[in-house]
Structure 1
């Protein structure tokens, strides 16, 4: 990494010291992090996404069930109801036209016009699963395949939902059945492809390979992220990210407090190559902007820290660079 990179941090504010903002901007150089600059007074901005058309960022306010547009130097410039309860994730379409909020609490999706933040459409799901946390749908993440098609992780119903935006309306077009009790939390697409993805199962500490053939998705493989067994307490997978060359997938597991490095073969199957111990409760993993595939960010929620790991030929190495932030849940 050369020069200076600007990163954004999101995190929980509930039950945290007063005056600690959950949303901040921070610089990173080869010497390490600067001091975080709080950006906005938002309740629990647990997920952040950059606007592809400007310098603005969008953030969910999870506890307030709202979405905010934040402009560096100005703070919150617009806010609106997310159209869902307990939004845990926010996705922006590649063309910058749409925002999709994933409602963990309501088990639904909310579609917003990205420019005005006007709610446009909503979509609710049904279903449940065998785990005690699967009493109802719990939508955790949405990923755009293109400007109109999405894959949606429904932790509560053990489904990856297929959704399309048609004439400004969200339409449910199909389901991919995941292993019972998996609790699909997040997925990541293979770079440059819309027929290969990997899904983390939060509840059973798993990662599955999804392949689409002849228009239908199927689970091609499932393996554990805790080959030696879960930790002594609660153990759940957290984040997932793919190397830009598609050669490795990185998955965090909370409780065990590890990041697994999984090698990808020619058909997308995974094999564990390395597992490193990281700080407590690694909720999120993602790339440093401009250093994708070379510098990995790990947001350790319970250690109040975001750490940087170097990547060398796919394997992780500690850099010693860390920034303190209260209950971090997103960085990038």
Structure 2
């Protein structure tokens, strides 16, 4: 059975009555199977997982100030990934007392959850996958600095406007964190990440600080499927309700000249399927054709879920690898 959500109402549509195509039903079943395959990770509590003394992650933690280590950031990423996976399960499927699952059809909401799963899982992979300990340390410092920068930006403006009596204390606190980050950078032989500008404000310069840069790194290193970056960008478009992603008119690939590319993009990145068929968005460089499928279709959602679901066990695997102190053989 499926549930179509329209105008705030849920409409239950039995799959067997023919109103849902066989392809849609198959895609829904594939998504459910993928979620069930990850259920063992739902029982994991990253916060409770010990970072064992002598492990690679423990050695990494020792390079940073105790007030702001990378272990907490990575555990938070894993927890957020699993929380969004469980939310996706509850959003898309309603379990009946008989044990059968009903499916709900949504347009945009699932893509927001899939996007977060990709972001959080890939962040863990980016930080911990490198075999070189110095590179793991550098990437971890980038994540710590990004967290400090974002927190300072928010609390500085929020407290200044709504709680000015607490603003000076917050400024002092975040100044201290910036100095700690710079001290960690100096200990690793890296230039300062934060620096004072002429007007007294803090500057923030470091590479790989955006999610796009992180995914490009993983893509360039062949650590993840080549379509992951494009799936994440596509899910981001859906999450923000952008027309180009939802395909409801305006910027479909069918309206673009595939020979010249779009907005300076490499020719072939956006390709129309031709004729009266729905436009297809294809990933370049040998990615599987039609990874994103026809816009708005159930097969499309199933394919982006498949890519995201692949990230989860790999993130847990590398986290366990780095947090455990393995005996010498």
Whether TM-score is above 0.5 comes out as: no
| TM-score of the pair, normalised by structure 2 | 0.26
Higher helix proportion, which one?
2
The TM-score with structure 1 as length reference comes to 0.26
Greater relative contact order (Cα < 8 A, sep 6+): 2
